Structure 1
Amino acid sequence: AKPREDAVMDRGHGKVHASPSVRAFARNVEVDLAQVNGTGRKGRILREDVMKALKSSTPAAASGGAVSGGAGIPPIPAVDFSKFGPVENVEMSRIKKISGPALHRSWLNIPHVTHNEDADITELDKYRKELDTAAKAEGYRVTLLSFIVKASVSALKKHWEFNSSIHPDGDKLIKKDFYNIGFAADTPNGLMVPVIKDADRKGIVEISKALGDLSAAARDGKLKSADMQGATFTISSLGGIGGTSFTPLVNAPEVAILGLTRSAMKPVWDGEAFQPRNMLPMSLSYDHRAVDGALAARFAAHLKYLLGDARRLML
């Protein structure tokens, strides 16, 4: 007899019950449903059960043992490096121990794609410097990131899919009508991601002050857990260090992250001659299950449009 749609034959051990979306998810992450304990009604296997099984099958990421690629993927072989020269085991920071398994899980579960785009910020940066000069006298700074946050909110409103999360059943998106922007902060203890809550209700001055306050708290180790929760979209900026592009990892349950590298003066053809323009490289990584390439290109194009003229951010 043909098995019901919500049942999966268990290689000689009867049936395991799970919805088609959960079965598909389990196949994608290579988890054997026969080895999963269902916590749903009548032992039905839920997506959360598969996630728990996936996490338990990759103990290396959480415990620092042999690094495994995931369920069904052979672990990286252990190597005795002392055979080749002096070595030292250095303890990972607490932040890396916590973030490592989450990043590993995101990489295993999310089909990442990165869209690269350059934005002309020549005029915007001139305006920013004027604002920053006045802001210094009041005890805060206006950085380019303030404008990126503002522009990102506009792009998220225009293309709501980037502000969503994939529903646990895997066949719908959770549309969020709030805009909390996370930003990666480099601290002595490692990378932290504070969150600017209700960024859509803040202007450039308020965003700038929030960035300064949260960054200082992160550096001083005074961030509260609530300060790092609830992000709907994240920005990771390496502009202060360098680079021309990179692939930032989406931090699930978010579906996108914007990476920024150092802006540089480049010759840009204006139709008649090459002009020196300050160009900002942007790298937009997204979950291809929630966002397709065309939508990503439109999102990046909207950011580029807004950053091309600061007045557009006020509309």
Structure 2
Amino acid sequence: KVIDENRRILNQQRTLQGKSKISYTHLIGWAIVQAIKDVPAINHAFVEADGEPYRVARTQLNLGVAVDVAGKDGNRSLMVPNIKNAGGLNFSQYTDAFDDIVKRARTGKLQVTDFQGTTVSLTNPGTVGTIASV
């Protein structure tokens, strides 16, 4: 209930400022970013070198955002561009970057670099009718 009310108030203010509304996906992504800032090991990865696993401590958080895109032929595709250095952004910068990456995905204006370096990704399977997911 609290998140619903805070989101409603935030969206009223953003509407008055001519900005886009904040979705639950925005908020969940922001929560992921904040959690990783608190527990940076979540952003680590493992690589294999000389047949042995090594942990890579990533210093930059690039949040991949899954975007459902309709092709010219009507087929749908899932693209996962990322918000570069999401951990270094404030909430306003984050929402602007989030909206920009989604808009560019839906208008076919992404570059290869928009997909490079993703360290963590977020998807929203609820749009395809799931009732439970992790």
- Letter matched to residue 30 of structure 2: K
Distance 2:55 2:40 in 1: 10
Which whole-Å CA distance do the structure 1 matches of 2:7 and 2:89 have between them? Answer: 17
Aligned position for 1:183: 65
5+ residue gaps, structure 2, are 72-76
Structure 2 residue 51 is matched with structure 1 residue 172: no
Instruction: Answer whether contact 1:186 1:192 (CA < 8 A) is retained.
Output: yes
TM-score, structure 1 as length reference: 0.37
Q: Which residue of 30, 33, 46 maps to 1:150?
A: 30
Say yes or no: does 1:140 pair with 2:23: no
Match of 2:119 in 1: 232
1:198 equivalenced with 2:89 (yes/no): no
Which residue of structure 1 lines up, in the alignment, with residue 5 of structure 2?
126
Q: Tell me how far 1:166 sits from its aligned partner.
A: 0.9
Q: Does structure 1 retain, via aligned residues, the 8 Å contact 2:45–2:56?
A: yes
- SS of equivalent residue, structure 2 residue 19: coil
Q: What is the alpha-carbon distance in structure 2 between the residues aligned to residue 241 and residue 131 of structure 1?
A: 27
Asked if structure 1 preserves the Cα contact closer than 8 Å seen for 2:66 and 2:79, the reply is yes
2:40 aligns with: 160
Q: Deviations over 1:64-117 (max 9, x none)?
A: xxxxxxxxxxxxxxxxxxxxxxxxxxxxxxxxxxxxxxxxxxxxxxxxxxxxxx
Higher Rg of the two aligned structures? 1
**Distance across 2 between alignment mates of 1:153 and 1:195:** 12
Contact kept in structure 2, 1:132 and 1:143, CA below 8 Å: no
Report the TM-score when normalising by structure 2: 0.82
Q: Which residue of 2 aligns with 1:212?
A: 99
Amino acid at match of 1:128: R
Which of the numbers 98, 106, 109 marks the counterpart of 1:222?
109
Distance in 1 (alpha carbons) for counterparts of 2:15 and 2:101: 17
Per-residue deviation, 1:224 = 0.9
The one-letter code matched in structure 1 to 2:131 is: T
**Which amino acid in the other structure matches residue 176 of structure 1?**
R
Q: What SS does the corresponding residue of 1:168 show, helix, strand or coil?
A: strand
How many Å apart are 1:241 and its aligned residue? 4.3
Please say if residues 150 and 200 of structure 1, whose CA atoms lie closer than 8 Å, have aligned partners that are also in contact: no
Query: In percent, how many aligned pairs have the same letter?
Result: 26
Q: Deviations over 1:94-145 (max 9, x none)?
A: xxxxxxxxxxxxxxxxxxxxxxxxxxxx211221122122223423221122
Instruction: Give the number of the structure whose residues are more often helix, by fraction.
Output: 2
Task: State the alpha-carbon separation in 1 of the partners of residues 104 and 61 from structure 2.
Answer: 21
What is the deviation of 1:198? 1.2
Q: What is the RMSD of the two structures over their aligned residues, measured on CA atoms?
A: 1.8
Matched residue of 2:117: which SS? Answer: coil
In 2, distance between residues paired with 1:228 and 1:171?
A: 25
**2:126 match: secondary structure:** coil
Q: Which runs of 5+ in 1 are unaligned?
A: 1-121, 247-282, 284-315
Do the aligned partners of 1:150 and 1:203 also contact (CA within 8 Å) in 2?
A: no
Count of residue pairs the alignment pairs up: 126
Question: Which one-letter code corresponds to 2:63 in the other structure?
Answer: I
